[in-house]
Amino acid sequence: MSEVNKIADGKVELKVVLDGERWKNAQDKSFNKLAKEIEIRGFRKGQAPKNMIRQRLSEGAILAQAAEDITNDIFREELEANDITLIDRATLDIKEIDADHVTFVFTCPVKPDVTLGEYKNLGYAPKEAVVDDEEVEKQIEMIREQRADLEIKEEDGIVEDGDTVVIDYEGFKDGVPFEGGKADNHELVIGSHTFIPGFEEGLVGMKSEEAKDLELTFPEDYHAEELKGAKVVFKVVVHEIKRKVLPEVDEEFVKELAIKDVNTADELRTYIKETLLDRKKRQNEEDATNALLDKVCDAAKVDIPEIMINDEIDDMEKEMDRDFSAQGFSLDQYLKIAGLDKSKFRDNLRIDAEKRVKLRLVLEEIARQEKVEISDEEVKKEIEDEAQKYGMKSEDIERIVDKRLIVNDLKMRKALDILKA
């Protein structure tokens, strides 16, 4: 027998009374477990007659062991039976215990109540996706830039914007070289803004093997403290000047792109237009969805427990760490470059974390109110899709992913579909 009562601070009290045959069996198992450790002279450890062992074991010890051994099973069963989702560790208090019954009282931190505002007929109308010829040509130019060749300019050629130069340089502050300010045969694209303001501009007009002193000032917000706002001189020598040679948009160019069923320039333009249209359509749908969800969340009221926000920040931090790792970087390196400590970094994530938690709670409440159900077939298909996506077997997904999480995710998707409809 169990009952659930709401108490303060976003918690519920789950009271469970266990009696009858199951409680008797638990005590028997407890006795047998404890008996194995009892030593009585004349008998091997745990092998004395039960009546002799029972004289050495108090009823309190047997009851306490029985309660300890069965608590986890009882708790897990009652959570599922009463549809209770924990957001933090529960606490246990055993109110009554004797040979006939035991009363467990679990205090459970749970998801907060959500009061929904208006969430129907709010309007979901993504903008029409439109792509003009200018956008297509701009995309083609980007592809040409990526596939451009570099050729060395004639001897009398000068550095122009967009050229690639090979240079030696060394920087001096108050006549003394500073750390990190020297390189030989460095390749630099003019206009890339790789260097501090004035450096690349100062090379424009120079010829091959020409030397020049550039008098510059580091920005006030430069990352190196000793160079912030500092006046410096860079001694530069230009060794090579290379210009971009863009390929013609012909059949050979299109063939090198190796796009399926695209063989001519016209087919390439059609393909690019369709790709841009699809990208814009998806972006417009995403923008409209986000606008809709903002309206629904703004109209809802919920007091989010601190633990849920902190857990979400933890998840966001792990996501960023994985993203950086995939790029051969680390979160700690990013924080160092950005000049952030971990505490400040987590504070910066807080607003987005709170929005994410609220959105999830709101969608779950909509699914509940709309009585959204998920069939076993839908769960099976989702598992199969995930397995295919990650190149795994369905049984592997079932083993490592809690089915309840899959069901909850599917419910939220259906809730979103209800909003859009």
Domain of 57, in residue numbers: 2-109
The whole-number pLDDT of residue 340 equals 81
Q: Which long-range contacts (CB under 8 A, 24 or more apart) does 184-188 make?
A: 185/239, 188/164
- Run of H or E including 396: helix 394-400
Cα dihedral value 252, 257, 258, 263, nearest 10: -50
Q: Is residue 145 part of a domain?
A: no
- Of the pLDDT bands very low, low, confident and very high (cuts 50, 70, 90), residue 155 is confident
- Of the pLDDT bands very low, low, confident and very high (cuts 50, 70, 90), residue 339 is confident
Would you give the DSSP letter of residue 20? Answer: H
- Of the pLDDT bands very low, low, confident and very high (cuts 50, 70, 90), residue 53 is low
- Of the pLDDT bands very low, low, confident and very high (cuts 50, 70, 90), residue 37 is low
Q: Is residue 128 part of a domain?
A: no
Q: Is residue 141 part of a domain?
A: no
The whole-number pLDDT of residue 49 equals 61
Q: Is the domain of 411 the same as that of 281? A: yes
**Mean pLDDT score, 96-111:** 91
Which CATH number is 39's domain given?
A: 3.30.70.1050
Q: Is residue 93 part of a domain?
A: yes
Q: Is residue 256 part of a domain?
A: no
The whole-number pLDDT of residue 48 equals 59
CB 129, CB 116: distance < 8 Å: no
Residue 15's CB is within 10 A of a number of other CB atoms, namely 16
Tell me which of 245, 277, 309 is where a domain ends: 245
Tell me which of 214, 245, 276 is where a domain ends: 245
d(CA 131, CA 197): 36
- Of the pLDDT bands very low, low, confident and very high (cuts 50, 70, 90), residue 51 is low
The whole-number pLDDT of residue 181 equals 94
Tell me which of 109, 137, 169 is where a domain ends: 109
- Of the pLDDT bands very low, low, confident and very high (cuts 50, 70, 90), residue 220 is very high
The whole-number pLDDT of residue 353 equals 95
- Of the pLDDT bands very low, low, confident and very high (cuts 50, 70, 90), residue 270 is very high
The whole-number pLDDT of residue 268 equals 95
Give per-residue pLDDT as tens, 383-398. Answer: 999 999 888 888 888 8
Give per-residue pLDDT as tens, 348-372. Answer: 999 999 999 999 999 999 999 999 9
Q: Is the domain of 11 the same as that of 100? A: yes
Q: Is the domain of 408 the same as that of 273? A: yes
Judged by DSSP in three states, 155 sits in coil
Q: Is the domain of 274 the same as that of 207? A: no
The whole-number pLDDT of residue 163 equals 94
**Mean pLDDT score, 121-127:** 90
Q: Is residue 345 part of a domain?
A: yes
- Cβ neighbours for 40, distance < 8 A, ≥ 6 positions apart: 48, 52, 53, 56
Percent of the chain with pLDDT over 90: 63
The whole-number pLDDT of residue 223 equals 85
Q: Is the domain of 362 the same as that of 240? A: no
Distances (CA, A) of 92 to 15, 81, 95, 100, 392: 10, 18, 9, 20, 40
- Output the CA angle 128-134-140, nearest 5 degrees: 110
Residue 85 above 80 pLDDT?
Answer: yes
Domain count, the chain: 3
- Of the pLDDT bands very low, low, confident and very high (cuts 50, 70, 90), residue 121 is confident
Q: Is residue 258 part of a domain?
A: no
Give per-residue pLDDT as tens, 59-68. Answer: 888 889 889 9
Residue 43 above 90 pLDDT?
Answer: no
Percent of the chain with pLDDT over 70: 95
Q: Is the domain of 70 the same as that of 207? A: no
- Of the pLDDT bands very low, low, confident and very high (cuts 50, 70, 90), residue 44 is low
Q: Is the domain of 279 the same as that of 367? A: yes
Q: Is the domain of 305 the same as that of 174? A: no
Closest CA relative to residue 189, chosen from 218, 219, 131, 148: 148
Q: Is residue 114 part of a domain?
A: no
pTM: 0.69
Residue 42 above 60 pLDDT?
Answer: no
Q: Is the domain of 87 the same as that of 170? A: no
Q: Is the domain of 301 the same as that of 334? A: yes
Residue 211 above 60 pLDDT?
Answer: yes
The whole-number pLDDT of residue 417 equals 93
- Of the pLDDT bands very low, low, confident and very high (cuts 50, 70, 90), residue 324 is confident
The whole-number pLDDT of residue 310 equals 92
| Partners of 169 in the β-ladder | 183, 236
Mean pLDDT value across the chain: 90
Q: Is the domain of 168 the same as that of 230? A: yes
- Of the pLDDT bands very low, low, confident and very high (cuts 50, 70, 90), residue 341 is confident
Which CATH number is 188's domain given?
A: 3.10.50.40
Q: Is the domain of 309 the same as that of 170? A: no
Which CATH number is 401's domain given?
A: 1.10.3120.10
- Of the pLDDT bands very low, low, confident and very high (cuts 50, 70, 90), residue 138 is very high
